[in-house]
Structure 1
Amino acid sequence: MATGGQDSCVYGSDVEKYTKCPCCSKNYVDPWFLQCGHTMNLRCIRRQQPIVKCSVCDETFLQATSRIAINRFAKDISLKVAYREITNLLLTNPACSLSEHTDKDAVSYCERCSMRMCHNCNQFHSMNPSTKRHKTYEVSEMIDRKCHEEDINVDPQSPCEYHDHEIIKNWCLDCKIPSCNECCSGHHLESLSKHVIRAENEIRIIKEKLERGLTAIQIDLEVVKQNKKIIKQGGHLKGEIASEMEWSKQKCKLVIKIYDVLLREVSLLQKKGNEFHKCYTLPFFSFQTKRIQESTNSIPSCSRSLVSHL
């Protein structure tokens, strides 16, 4: 399990885990935060009607109100991982995937079709009604990016979603959101670089709390297992007691899973996130931390009290 205290949390398989939707296990394409603070692909949210169930914490929400905001950090780093994977693929075999065109070099790649396309295939792909809306990557651009194994850093600056050619440089103190020079006109703006100092400190505190909390809940799980073993040996593991102990065990495992996911996200944000990502994502991390604490509060008393009165 990731503990959030080592560099291994932000490289290799842990990056791959973060960039995959917990619902469909596919790479993030359009990741959105839910009310619980966890992230799912928009298409996975839309497929669930009328109730959306979070694949991390099992909380449920009405589909119509299940989206909170785009997870820009997950989207940006997922795109970098996709660049790396596609680049490695093209460097390994730059030829067109179509058997009749293997003597031609690919000029583009469609991730959805998993196909390297020469000039003719690319033209057909772009005109075909069923594929023309697929996102494609230019081979020359991918090679020039040199997105190799170690290159998963996101861009140091983030473009504004609403104003072309504008870079997010401010934090709006009124709206509590990042903004470019055109956003939040007339509001109180603060330099993003100044605001990120507070954000980084809060993220560090959150990580420390999570590490302590994860250790505590892991101890609680061992207590539950030990108590269950003692009760079973005494012949009392049945009925309501058996249900209570099993509930405690499963609840501990769920909370540990949630801790693990959030610690991985926080560690990755500290290592790879830019100023915008840290300021923008902090409220969602804070909310998840509060929800984890709420889920944890009932477990210790439940796990220790059953043995004492037998």
Structure 2
Amino acid sequence: MAEGGAYELLKGEKTYRAPDFETLMRWARERRITAADMIRPAGTEEWKRAGDLPEFSQLVDPSNWWTVRMGDSAYTAPDFATIERWTREGRLNTEAVIEGPRTPPGGVLAKGLPRLAPFLRPPLQSADGSIPPRLRIDGVEYFPKDPETIRLWISEARVPPDAEISVSGGPWEPLGPSGLFERELWPEGAWGDHMPDEPSEPSSEPSRGTLGAPGQAGEAPPESAPAQQAASQKPVLHSGWRIVTLNEELVIDDPSRIPRLLRSRRIHSFDDVLHPSLPDGRCSVSRAIEILRLGRRRFPWWMLAVLVLIALGVVFVLIDPMNWGIRLPL
């Protein structure tokens, strides 16, 4: 699928418009697109099923999804790169369990994965024993560590004015009319009926900020679509070949090193290789070896035939069966 221009997404009877291909891919990574949804470049007539497009087939296939468990909560990510992003954003703590296509049944502890461990947050603990404020949005409770965190969430359009707040364990009261936070903190349109013209997320992600212990304090409300769109960034481009494994990410300049890394078991055949020259920009290690023809080289039989002919010629000259009087110079 060409990556230029806008795209249209058909979900049921409603059509959404993505301004560019990156936005469409972001929706897929956020699980806003299913395999049955239809996609087409804006201005064209032919719809194509998302599950049949190579750019989206893995992202919309549940068998490729990953699960993050923290206490009683579970979150689904379309790929391991999304879990890495959540970790770097401070959404995962040291008690998180990761389960996916490359882990044993039951998953592994996030703190045991070198690519995640440095960015994991410890479970939230109250040093002075005070009761932090609580928020309630659509019946779901969230536990920010202090009022400044709530101010940040409000400015990021993650807390609506009709949310409820409980201070120091007190009764619930409407957040907006409470007077605890200035009306100007909320982004434009927060007090009106404006709704984002994007497909909704099917499930929440682990929230930003310092996370609490599983099922306890520290979870932030999920981002709204406008906040996510503003926070999205273009992917960082690498000049070399990127090989993404479960434990590390390698960058090499010469793809001919891929078979050697595979033989030394630093990488596996199912790991991902990323480079602009590959179809769709990424594929598995085994597929990359096939595309780049990096497998075992065939013996150059033509060279052996040439050597045999040369040897026969030398023998013919030495024997001189036709008595032509040919002699090799000494």
Fold shared per TM-score above 0.5: no
More relative contact order in 1 or in 2 (CA 8 Å, sep 6+)?
1
More helix by share: 1
TM-score (norm 2): 0.24
More strand by share: 2
